[in-house]
């Protein structure tokens, strides 16, 4: 392997965060038993927060963000991983307190690593990345709570985003009638193309007035938006239906009442990709490589960038302007 390689750093001085691409070597990488030549990383909302002075993601500076990476094992002291193995590593402390995927090489503890499932390339795994994993985990948990296509329509909020886009296409592939909600009036055709049968605005989700219980519209919901929007979603879920909540782009407060739960048996499913147990993690990656795999979508939503283009990409995702998934090519 090369002695020197490139990595993207964030630095914090006073209340300012600056970024730079610089050359480092293996000694600069944190502890871990597996060294990976990174092929691709990706851009998630959390990576955007990692580039903000008060984003509350990065624990110490200077730091290499990037919560996702996929690549080839260069060396390993864990016999479960051999040189040449293709692997995925996402979440845990990666890109938070452990140098992440915006680097040509990464050193990662083996217990955070998933073998690349058959049926998925390294590049495809990063088009999915944490956003795709979260969308898939959301659909998986909705199904475990009893959702089937016969039960009724399924709402996806923040539908043009990473989690949203992938959820729309997985649900469509599995035969669901998908209602996509978006703040981007210009993207209705895009959402129809990736599988939505109906597209509505964020305002339509909210309705004129937030009510404890409203008209029953959706048997399930994938919600990466949270906040007031989630409260409105809960009030419109049909009897016994479920909402899988993963995000907070619309806010962290949930101004809801207990009525959807106690009068309609609605389930609120919490979705966490970060400490999702390894067995479930492997199950979800395998589903993304098989019955959840959406070949057309992978082509449609990807936008490839370099380490040098990261500052603009991070800004775009923070402004809620990202469409689909940005992947970072490292080798």
Binding site for ligand NAP (CB under 6 A): 44-46, 130-131, 134, 158-164, 182-184, 202, 224-225, 229, 246-250, 271-274, 317, 320, 322
Smallest gap, in angstroms, from Cβ of residue 91 to ligand NAP?
7
Closest alpha carbon to 142 in 240, 239, 269, 231: 269
* Minimum CB distance to ligand NAP smaller for 11 or for 201: 201
Q: What is the 3-state secondary structure (H, E, C) of 144-174?
A: HCCCCHHHCCEEECCCCCHHHHHHHHHHHHC
* Minimum CB distance to ligand NAP smaller for 45 or for 92: 45
Helix (H, G, I), strand (E, B) or coil at 302: strand
Smallest gap, in angstroms, from Cβ of residue 67 to ligand NAP?
8
* Minimum CB distance to ligand NAP smaller for 10 or for 29: 10
* Minimum CB distance to ligand NAP smaller for 266 or for 276: 276
Closest alpha carbon to 104 in 66, 61, 52: 66
Select the residue whose beta carbon is closest to ligand NAP and give its number.
Answer: 161
Smallest gap, in angstroms, from Cβ of residue 90 to ligand NAP?
9
* Minimum CB distance to ligand NAP smaller for 48 or for 71: 48
* Minimum CB distance to ligand NAP smaller for 51 or for 76: 51
Closest alpha carbon to 310 in 289, 291, 326: 326
Whether omega for the bond prior to residue 62 falls within 30 degrees of 0, making it cis, is yes
Question: Tokens at residue 176, please?
Answer: 């669901």
Q: 292: part of which helix (H) or strand (E)?
A: none
* Minimum CB distance to ligand NAP smaller for 109 or for 320: 320
Smallest gap, in angstroms, from Cβ of residue 225 to ligand NAP?
4
Smallest gap, in angstroms, from Cβ of residue 47 to ligand NAP?
9
Closest alpha carbon to 137 in 295, 302, 323, 285: 285
Smallest gap, in angstroms, from Cβ of residue 112 to ligand NAP?
15
Helix (H, G, I), strand (E, B) or coil at 178: strand
Measure Cα distances from 37 to 55, 87, 104, 329 in Å. Answer: 28, 10, 6, 12
Give yes or no for a contact between 307 and 6, defined as CB atoms under 8 angstroms apart.
Answer: yes
Give yes or no for a contact between 20 and 11, defined as CB atoms under 8 angstroms apart.
Answer: yes
Smallest gap, in angstroms, from Cβ of residue 241 to ligand NAP?
20
């Amino acid at each position: 392997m090369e002695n020197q390689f490139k990595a993207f750093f964030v630095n914090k001085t006073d209340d300012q965060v600056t970024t730079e691409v610089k050359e480092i070597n293996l000694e600069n990488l944190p502890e871990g038993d597996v060294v990976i030549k990174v092929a691709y990383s990706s851009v998630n909302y959390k990576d955007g927060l990692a580039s903000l002075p008060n984003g509350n993601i990065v624990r110490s500076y200077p730091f290499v963000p990037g919560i996702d990476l996929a690549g080839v094992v260069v060396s390993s002291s864990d016999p479960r991983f051999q040189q040449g193995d293709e692997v995925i590593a996402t979440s845990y402390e990666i890109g938070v307190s452990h140098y992440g995927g915006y680097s040509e090489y990464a050193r990662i503890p083996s217990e955070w690593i998933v073998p690349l499932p058959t049926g998925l390339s390294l590049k495809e795994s990063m088009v999915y990345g944490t956003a795709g994993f979260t969308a898939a985990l959301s659909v998986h948990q909705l199904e475990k709570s009893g959702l089937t296509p016969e039960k009724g329509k399924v709402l996806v909020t923040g539908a043009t985003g990473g989690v949203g886009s992938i959820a729309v296409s997985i649900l469509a592939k599995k035969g669901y009638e998908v209602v996509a909600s978006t703040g981007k009036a210009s993207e209705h055709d895009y959402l129809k193309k990736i599988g939505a049968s109906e597209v509505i605005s964020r305002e339509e989700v909210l309705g004129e007035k937030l009510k404890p219980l409203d008209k029953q519209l959706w048997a399930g919901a994938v919600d990466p938006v949270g906040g007031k929007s989630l409260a409105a979603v809960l009030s419109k879920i049909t009897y016994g239906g479920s909402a899988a909540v993963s995000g907070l782009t619309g806010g962290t407060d949930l101004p809801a009442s207990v009525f959807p739960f106690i009068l309609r048996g609605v389930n609120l499913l919490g979705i966490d990709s970060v400490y999702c147990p390894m067995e479930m993690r492997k199950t979800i990656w395998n589903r993304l490589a098989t019955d959840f795999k959406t070949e057309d979508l992978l082509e449609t939503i990807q936008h490839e960038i370099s380490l040098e283009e990261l500052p603009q990409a991070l800004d775009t995702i923070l402004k809620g302007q990202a469409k689909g998934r940005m992947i970072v090519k490292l080798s």
